[in-house]
Amino acid sequence: MKFYTYIKVSTDEEFVKAQENLINNYIRDNNIIINKTYLYKENTNKNKVENNIDEVLENLSYGDSLVVVGLDILGSSTYSILNRIVTIKTMGITLHLINENLVLYFKDERLFKVLFSLLSLEQSKRDKKVLDAKRTRQNNGTSLGRKSGKKTKSMFDKYRKKIMDYYHNQVSKTEILQEIKKKDFRKNGNASKIKNSSLQALSQYIKKTELEQKKKDNNKRGKTYIENTATKIKPSDTEITIMNFDGTFSVIADTVEIDTKTEKDNQKSPLIEEKKIIKPRGGLKVIKKKNT
What are the sequence ranges of the domains in the chain?
3-115, 153-229, 235-290
Which CATH superfamily hosts domain 3-115?
Resolvase, N-terminal catalytic domain (3.40.50.1390)
28 confidence band (pLDDT: 50, 70, 90): very high
Give per-residue pLDDT as tens, 117-157.
776 777 777 777 778 777 787 777 665 555 555 566 788 88
Instruction: Note the helical H segments in 78-198.
Output: 78-90, 109-139, 160-168, 173-188
Segments in the chain forming alpha helices (H): 13-29, 46-58, 78-90, 109-139, 160-168, 173-188, 199-229, 260-265
Interatomic CA distance for residues 60 and 36, integer angstroms: 10
pLDDT of residue 257: 42
For residue 40, what are the contacts with CB-CB under 8 A and spacing of at least 6? 6, 7, 8, 9, 49, 52, 53, 55, 56
pLDDT attached to residue 254: 44
- For residue 194, which phi and psi values (nearest 5 degrees)? -85, -20
User: Which residues pair with residue 38 across a beta bridge?
Assistant: 6
Separation CA 107–CA 41 (nearest Å): 32
Q: What is the mean pLDDT of residues 22-31?
A: 93
Which range, 20-34, 157-171, 242-256, has the best average confidence (pLDDT)?
20-34
Model confidence pLDDT, tens digit, residues 184-201:
877 776 667 787 788 888
Strand partners for 238:
290
The tens digit of pLDDT for each residue in 212-247 reads 888 888 777 666 555 555 444 444 444 555 555 555
Where does residue 176 rank: exposed (0-12), middle (13-18), buried (19+ CB within 10 A)?
Answer: buried
